[in-house]
Amino acid sequence: MEFSFGPQRWLPKESLQDRIVDDDANENYALGLHAPGFFDKILNVDNCLLQSHPANKVLAAVQECWRDPQLGFSPYNVHSHKGFLKHLMLRTGRDVTTDQPEVMVNFVTSSYKPELLKFLVDKVSVFPEVVSVINNVNTSVGNTSVGEEEYTLYGKSSITETLRGLTFQISANSFFQTNTYQAEVLYKLIEDCAGVKGDDSEIVLDLFCGTGTIGLTLARSVRHVYGYEVVPQAITDARLNAKINGIQNATFVQGDLNKIDENFGKNFPKPDIVISDPNRPGMHIKLIKFLLNLRAPRIVYVSCNPATCARDLDYLCHGVEEKNIEGCYKLISLQPVDMFPHTPHIECVCLLELQ
């Protein structure tokens, strides 16, 4: 969960009578979630039903004290670009030996002031489930939670999670499916769609590989996996995850798949299976052209955005007439997976075969 700090609580109409009329402006500070469609309106959240109980204990501990004027904390103002605290990110994993929850607390701040954060670090690190406290420093005016610099203020720099029988290390900025139980369903479906022969003969190209979750689950039954990802920390995690699980037939490379050139593809043999799991904007036209020229027998396209998914599938199957690009794939199956119940958000797993 990513909670945001703000200088003013946003209240829905029905709660306006509850607003705090106080000379102390600090009491109107907010730590919570953005109102739908608003980057600058934050609904204060004291308890979040989506996250684990240990994570809620951390949230409550921070809410209890951060407004105290004597501590000197100021929430970041997205209009004036002043203030120290930007985001509180809480991730819950699981210790693979004890099966107990592991919580990572990530304070995203506008500058590096460990002495100022020390009170909050001490406050949250008393919980036995908290094994990692991180500080991401983001000096930009944007609202992103990814910092230019990262510091470990307490404990480990990552937490662990198990998926499909493998152990994964997850650092603060690495992507990992938030709904781990349903991720089991998602990755089983991806494995089924990949249709791996299981005779250690096939090459897999894993695009937007993140921490290597999909590629490593397939690596056990193929000749080699080649994974590409833009986030350097995710690639570091992917290599570590391969090592932790004793997988030696996986190569992970850091690079921006939106900026590929004519040399892309020269460092790996022609794949039998391509896995592509892009973020919401989908695949760049350069990458689509590359895949159409590559002509791998099967593509498993995993998408969290049905609109860009439909666009990219259309390009791969029917081409782009105005760009003189011909499609060469046929859509065999498409299965949505409900990753976030009670929301419109789904993952779609699509199988394409070369015509």
Angle between helix axes 114-124 and 53-65 (nearest 10 degrees) is: 130
Neighbours of 93 (CB within 10 A): 22
> How much is the pLDDT for 20?
59
Asked if 183 and 191 touch (Cβ cutoff 8 Å), the reply is no
Residue 177 among known ligand-binding residues: yes
Domain ranges of the chain: 2-157, 175-354
Mean pLDDT on 96-101: 90
76, two tokens: 């970041």
> How much is the pLDDT for 54?
97
Q: How many residues does the chain have?
A: 355
**CATH topology assigned to domain 175-354:** Rossmann fold (3.40.50)
**For 288-344, what is each residue's pLDDT tens digit?**
999 999 999 999 999 999 999 999 999 999 999 988 999 999 999 999 999 888 888
Active-site residue list: 304
How does residue 24 score in pLDDT terms, banded at 50, 70 and 90?
low
- What element of type H or E holds 189? helix 180-194
Residue 208 among known ligand-binding residues: yes
> How much is the pLDDT for 16?
73
End-to-end CA distance of the chain: 42
Tell me, what amino acid is at 319? G
Residue 229 among known ligand-binding residues: yes
Q: Per-residue b/e over 41-54, b at no fewer than 16 CB within 10 Å?
A: bbbbbeeeeebbeb
CATH architecture of 2-157: Beta Barrel (2.40)
- Whether 22 has a pLDDT exceeding 60, the answer reads no
Among the listed residues 332, 329, 296, the one whose alpha carbon sits nearest the alpha carbon of residue 202: 296
3-state secondary structure of 113: coil
**For 182-241, what is each residue's pLDDT tens digit?**
999 999 999 999 999 999 999 999 999 998 999 999 999 999 999 999 988 889 989 999
